[in-house]
Homo-oligomer: A and B are copies of this chain.
Amino acid sequence: MWRLPRALCVHAARTSKLPGPWSRPAAFMSTLLINQPQYAWLKELGLREENEGVYNGIWGGRGEVSLEMGKILVEGVGEVQEYVDICDYAVGLSRMIGGPILPSERPGHALIEQWNPVGLVGIITAFNFPVAVYGWNNAIALICGNVCLWKGAPTTSLISVAVTKIIAKVLEDNNLPGAICSLTCGGADIGTAMAKDERVNLLSFTGSTQVGKQVALMVQERFGRSLLELGGNNAIIAFEDADLNLVVPSALFAAVGTAGQRCTTARRLFVHESIHDEVVNRLKKAYAQIRVGNPWDSNVLYGPLHTKQAVSMFLGAVEEAKKEGGTVVYGGKVMDRPGNYVEPTIVTGLGHDASIAHTETFAPILYVFKFKKEEEVFAWNNEVKQGLSSSIFTKDLGRIFRWLGPKGSDCGIVNVNIPTSGAEIGGAFGGEKHTGGGRESGSDAWKQYMRRSTCTINYSKDLPLAQGIKFQ
């Protein structure tokens, strides 16, 4: 089975060579697109006008019709590439996982740490990374020997179906039961059922902190396991010695990439007072050059928000920021074009502890703050509830290591001279505090998908008892 993930990746890589270009709005319904000649490849993926949303070896079920995510093309291709990469990684890993043989203190005894699959891994993913997050979980869970049950976001179920069609083909080609990678489309009711079901040994949940907490409590109530990837409220800190040629594009990319709808989106930018105004000015110029448009146009770098509700929340946050004393120095409005487009937005002048700045609004709003000293700004970085990603820009060696150390960032992702978003599959991805504590992708993330036994085998004919007790 270990070569299965690689077969997945080869198949996926081939499928990912999508024809281009496209010219229709992202908001157009996929179920109609499929009948247009330039979207004929949707049929190649096995999609039809109406797609069944439950797969457990055979397809079944019927749900609401759905609109897809709306991210720009290069980001979409990037997601598929991450799935391919994690498959490559997982195939190698499949021959390495395992515990140590430890030296037993007792003569004639072997002490072994054995890792076994947990069993059934439930995977609930969010709309903003509808492919890669499942890929991370799916590839690692499989090579650990588990089976998967996936519930994608209700608003991206077409992608869930397309991915599962690919997987089902690979399983079939390898004479493996399709139920190894089951799919169920659905909403909160399905999620709740998965969280409460004792048969779901591990529930991997990516989504908001609010929902994630409920999920975690339901799973803990039954002593199940959860792997949580929840919200972030990520900061970039630019020190006085920072290279502004790195800072400005980094802040831009991290703040407006995926239209501010990444869990690793930079929402707070702390700038040393000596360079604050220059940075804000350069950012404004850079924002003015962002190419907005149809996300399927490969030249476009900025697309719409996911839903109408997201637009409302964007507007609400802008208003709240103003009330708390902030100044909108760029953007702040809904765009006058079809689809849920809003202006990428910069707000200055808020206090570091303004309540709106401590709130994760899934939209492209960047709050910019002044600071004076390393100590205070490290504390400000850590004062939010979430603990996902964080970056500093500096040339100072001592500062860099302090940033990595016990008094530095308390986040799961700690960067230097790169933005908050973007991660490599070789490193564990995830965050602390209200981000949930889960880790996915590389390093020893596989351990979450397995259970460990400390095994002692007495191969002698004697029986030494614990605490040196001689019983008879």
Besides A92-B93, A111-B424, A417-B458, 12 other A-B contacts (C-beta < 8 A): A2-B103, A89-B92, A89-B95, A101-B113, A102-B426, A102-B443, A104-B426, A114-B405, A253-B471, A301-B471, A398-B459, A416-B455
A397 near B459 (CB under 8 angstroms)?
A: yes
Tell me, yes or no, whether A297 is within 8 Å of chain B by CB: no
Q: How many residues of A contact B (CB 8 A)?
A: 116
**A426 contacts B459, C-beta separation under 8 Å:** no
A108 lies within 8 A of chain B by Cβ: yes
Contact call A106/B454, Cβ cutoff below 8 A: no
Check if B114 sits within 8 Å of A101, measured CB to CB: yes
List B contacts of A75 (CB < 8 A): 467, 469
In the complex the two chains form, is B253's CB within 8 Å of A465's CB? yes
Looking at the assembled complex, report how far the CB atom of A126 sits from the nearest CB atom of chain B, in whole angstroms.
17
Check A458 against B418 for contact (C-beta < 8 Å).
yes
If A88-B6, A472-B252 touch, whether A454 touches B427 (CB-CB below 8 Å) is yes
In this assembly, does A295 line the interface, its C-beta being within 8 Å of a C-beta of chain B? no
Could you say which of A169-177, A189-197, A433-441 contacts chain B? Answer: A433-441
Interface contact A454-B109, CB-CB below 8 Å: no
Determine if B457 and A429 form an interchain contact, defined as CB atoms under 8 angstroms apart: no
Cβ of A453 within 8 Å of any chain B Cβ, yes or no, is yes
- Complex contact A225–B417 (CB within 8 A): no
Point out the residues of chain B lying under 8 angstroms from A433, CB to CB: 223
Determine if B424 and A78 form an interchain contact, defined as CB atoms under 8 angstroms apart. Answer: no
A402 contact set on B, CB distance < 8 A: 459
A303 within 8 A of B: no
Residues of chain B lying within 8 A (CB to CB) of residue A428: 113, 452, 454
Known: A74-B468, A398-B460, A457-B416. A425 touches B79 (CB 8 A): no
A149-157, A243-251, A368-376 - interface stretch: A243-251
Chain B residues whose CB sits within 8 angstroms of the CB of A432 once the complex forms: 451
Q: Smallest CB–CB gap between A278 and chain B, Å?
A: 17
Whether A117 pairs with B406 at a CB distance below 8 angstroms is yes
A52-B161 Cα distance, complex, nearest whole Å: 52
A122 at the interface (CB under 8 A from B): no
A31-39, A54-62, A214-222, A269-277: which lies at the interface: A214-222
* Contact, CB under 8 Å: A454 / B88: no
Instruction: From A322-330, A332-340, A407-415, give the one contacting chain B.
Output: A407-415
- The yes or no answer to A461 lying at the interface (CB within 8 A) is yes
A115 nearest CB neighbor, chain B only: B101
Q: Smallest CB-CB separation from A230: which chain B residue?
A: B223
Per the bound structure, the CA–CA distance linking A409 and B89 in Å amounts to 30
- Give the residues from 384 to 418 in chain A that come closer than 8 angstroms, CB to CB, to chain B: 385, 395-398, 400-402, 404-406, 409-418
User: A279 contacts which chain B residues (CB < 8 A)?
Assistant: none
**A88 touching B92, Cβ below 8 Å:** yes
Interface contact B417-A469, CB-CB below 8 Å: no
Most buried by B among A213, A417, A437, A466: A466
**Pairwise interchain contact A95-B102, C-beta atoms closer than 8 A:** yes
* A443 and B100 contacting across the interface, CB-CB below 8 Å: yes
User: Which has the most chain B C-beta neighbours within 10 Å: A112, A113, A220, A467?
Assistant: A467
A145 at the interface (CB under 8 A from B): yes
